[in-house]
Amino acid sequence: MVGVLEGFATIAVVVAVGWLLADRRILDDSAQVNLSRLAFYVASPALLLTVMQRTSLQQVLSTNLVTSLTSFVLVVGVYLLIARLRWGAGTLGSQLVGSLSAGYVNAGNLGIPIALYVLGDVAWVAPTLLMQLLLVTPVYMALFDSDARDERPTLVRSIGRMFRNPITLGAVAGLLVAVFDIHLPRVVAAPIDLLGAMAVPSMLVAFGISLRRGPRPATGRAAEQVWTVVALKTLVMPAIAFGVGLALGLRGQALFAVVVTAALPTAQNIFTYAVRYRREVNLARDAIFVSTFASVPVILGIAALFHGFAGV
């Protein structure tokens, strides 16, 4: 369980640095926007290229991938149904941010250490990471771009936008490098690695600034929506993953892995997307903040149950 706490503590420290810099007026709202843009246009694509080229496709193309994708689709469907019945349809952008906040897990900077220390192997989180990078992100980026241009999403437009978005391009480039076993020369790989290393710190510092400069998390009229998203993310999604995994024949460590991964909090990427497209920034921020704290006892509880009853 130490690995779970270490992963969360690392994130908390970097977020606290952003909060402190904003509190001391060293960085302001413009720094938050610029850091988010840096992460979106440069650092995240470089990080995705690096991650994808090092991911073994044999390890990720498995039942775990199907379980992760099914769990995501189902929890997004539940969120959209609740949102329509409770708060009205809203804009496409608000639906995109809300549904991502409910279903897009922090499989990178939190999922990797938790997979290593709690699950025993980083490969367990790879199916979810691949699913989010190559399936979910391109589709959502295309829809975000259409919403930003006030266009009606069509298949042709969406496909075109997918391959003009830097996030998608980074993931696809990494996949191609992996599939064709291309070995990038050091003079190319080293700068990409260096740029990719900026992604997570940039997101977390920008997030810390928003916590200091913005309204207090999960308060006001949006509180109900935030808590609904957090409940879906930390409770409903792992329950769905458990049921889907059982139905698909997963047992033991494999089932434990998909449930723990589904219980991870909302990814910081969603805040970066919300800032970039100027859609529901506070909702994304609050969902990340609250779900990060809420997921700690949930993951510890899941681990205890599996160790106690399944002997994992």
| pTM exceeds cut of 0.85 | no
Residues 153-211: tens digit of each pLDDT: 666 666 666 677 787 788 788 878 888 888 899 999 999 999 988 988 888 898 889 88
Helix, strand, coil percentages for the chain (3-state, nearest 5) = 80, 0, 20
Query: What CATH number does the domain containing 104 carry?
Result: 1.20.1530.20
The structural domain count of the chain equals 1
Spatial separation of the C-alpha atoms in residues 46 and 92, rounded to whole Å: 28
Torsion sign over Cα 80, 81, 86, 88: positive
Neighbours of 308 (CB within 10 A): 9
**DSSP codes joined into one string, 169-215:** HHHHHHHHHHHTT----HHHHHHHHHHHTTHHHHHHHHHHHHHHHSP
Question: How confident is the model at residue 216, as a pLDDT?
Answer: 74
Residues 149-167: tens digit of each pLDDT: 877 666 666 666 667 778 7
Domain range for 69: 2-310
Evaluate if residue 217 carries a pLDDT over 80: no
CA distances, 283 to each of 185, 230, 269 (Å): 42, 11, 13
Question: How confident is the model at residue 102, as a pLDDT?
Answer: 97
**DSSP codes joined into one string, 232-287:** IIIIIHHHHHHHHHHHTT--HHHHHHHHHHHTSPBPTHHHHHHHHHTSSHHHHHHH
Question: How confident is the model at residue 3, as a pLDDT?
Answer: 58
Spatial separation of the C-alpha atoms in residues 174 and 212, rounded to whole Å: 35
Residues 56-102: tens digit of each pLDDT: 666 667 788 999 999 999 999 999 999 999 888 678 999 999 999 99
Residues 23-38: tens digit of each pLDDT: 999 998 899 889 988 9
Torsion sign over Cα 159, 160, 161, 164: positive
Nearest to 93 by CA among 39, 140, 132, 159: 140
